[in-house]
Chains A and B, each alone.
Chain A
Amino acid sequence: MHSEATLSRLTLHALTVRHVGPVDLDIAPGECVCLSGPSGAGKSLLLRAVADLEPHTGSAVLDGQTCHDAKPYLWRRWVGLLPAESAWWCETVGEHFEHPREDWFQALGFAPAVSEWTIARLSTGERQRLGLLRLLCNGPRALLLDEPTASLDPTAVRQVEHLIGEYRREHACPILWVTHDPAQIERVADRTLLIEDGRVEPA
């Protein structure tokens, strides 16, 4: 499906956004790097800069393609950012999906009828899981996850971690994952970074 993504490597060269950075980071294909640190340290800001939603200096490179040389909408499609709070603009769930994958919906505990549900009736946890599904169905070549399991119960947390793990194996996709949960870091991380006072260092 995304054969060109098998060698995806995400590299940041002196990436600086407001008080955060410069950050130099190389995430190998299929590697999961967890990022933690106190609130306000700039974790979300860093992810937004990599996704090119914030003006920044330095550069991000995916598969040899520099962010600034890629068309903005293509770059954002490649580096999928999952924000901490998901946002919706159409009335029903199904309208937000171009290529829904039923097996993934089932993996996160949703019946096929979920596409008919209105957004207004979704709980916070359902929104978060559906936000992840919406992102994965868009076929990103790298993942930037901002606390993707923050409002989920333990069962849903495991389901989400499992699905992300599967996507990562299938697509050899580099992941930058913000989390505060040491147990989760233990389960998913290949490497952990700590962000403090705008500096990113190995934990």
Chain B
Amino acid sequence: MHIQQLSSLDLGIAALLVIALAGLSLALRLGIERRLLIAGARTAVQLTLIGLVLKALFANVALVWVALMAFVMLAAAGREATARQRLRFAGFWGYGLGTLSMFISSFSVTVFALIAIISHHPWYEPQYAIPLLGMMLGNTMNGVALGLDRLTLSAREQRGAIEARLMLGHQAHEAVRTITRDAMRVGLVPIMNAMAAAGIISLPGMMTGQILAGAAPVEAVKYQILIMFMIAAGTGFATLAAVSLGSRRLFDERQRLRLDRLKDTGD
């Protein structure tokens, strides 16, 4: 299988496109050139580093290193999911809720796919485990962040209605039922849209990457379908878990709505 090698010069030419965009931003006074260039530089540095890490991982296949890598990725995804929420739970729960949900969901779905579907030996072969987990975490992170963001903002906006229901003798979970349903739906919209558009409007990244790398299109498509299903399930379970845990955390043991447990980041 032949892969067209890319030189540093090739990447430099691609970078010129981003630099041109930054120049345009400067000319039009959009004020995003600095952030754009920093983001571009981060992409180059982070991906180069992960390339080196993966190279080392592939050369030394050991469960402990794969697990370590997986937890570092989880920690970063948890931090990102927390940062994307405008109104987040204060203290440990702000980070813990999303991270715990992603851990339960992404890890179990990925391990299930590695063992039951891909069935490679050893099952934790980093060539499969790390990219699959990476795609899972990237998508579940979105779902969890969107779901929790909607949950907390709606709870604050609809405080009067929630408390009015509590006052009529509704239990806490009944009083927030419409909000939790809505938050779960919002968390799942991106992956459902992606599944509906796959192949017609967009060619998903993983499939495109495999085809560019010389894989047979039909094999690439099979992997893409696998990953789409994994992502849908993973995002769904993680969002349901996060919203469900979050809606419990909104109330104390006396079923009082505790908005003082939320912290507004003002982003």
Contacts and interface: CB of A to CB of B under 8 A. Distances in A.
Interface of A: 51-55, 68, 72-74, 76-77, 80-81, 83, 85-89, 131, 134-135, 138
The 3 closest A-B pairs by CB, nearest first: A87-B160, A77-B169, A72-B255
A76 B166 contact: yes
A86 B169 contact: no
Contacts of A83: 160, 163-164, 167
Interface string B39-61: 00000000000000000000000
Contacts of A73: 166, 169-171, 255
A85 B160 contact: yes
Contact of A88 (B164, B252, B254, B255): B164
B202 interface: no
Contacts of B164: 83, 86-89, 131
B256 interface: yes
Most A-side CB within 10 Å, residue of B160, B165, B254, B255: B254
B167 A89 contact: no
Given A87-B161, A89-B158, A89-B178, A77 B168 contact: yes
B257 interface: yes
Interface residues of B, number: 19
Interface in B139-176: 158, 160-161, 163-172
B163 A87 contact: yes
Contacts of A52: 254, 256
B254 A138 contact: no
Nearest to A87: B160
Contacts of A80: 167
Nearest to A139: B169
19 contacts: A52-B254, A53-B166, A54-B256, A55-B252, A68-B254, A72-B166, A73-B169, A73-B171, A76-B169, A77-B169, A81-B167, A86-B164, A87-B164, A88-B164, A89-B178, A131-B164, A134-B168, A135-B167, A138-B169
Nearest to A51: B167
A49 to B, nearest CB: 10
A138 to B, nearest CB: 5
Nearest to B164: A87
Contacts of A138: 168-169
B92 to A, nearest CB: 20
Contact of B167 (A55, A68, A76): A76
Nearest to B260: A55
B167 A88 contact: no
A118 B162 CA distance: 19
Contacts of B257: 53
Nearest to B160: A87
Contacts of B161: 87-89
A101 to B, nearest CB: 15
B205 to A, nearest CB: 41
A163 B171 CA distance: 28
A195 B163 CA distance: 24
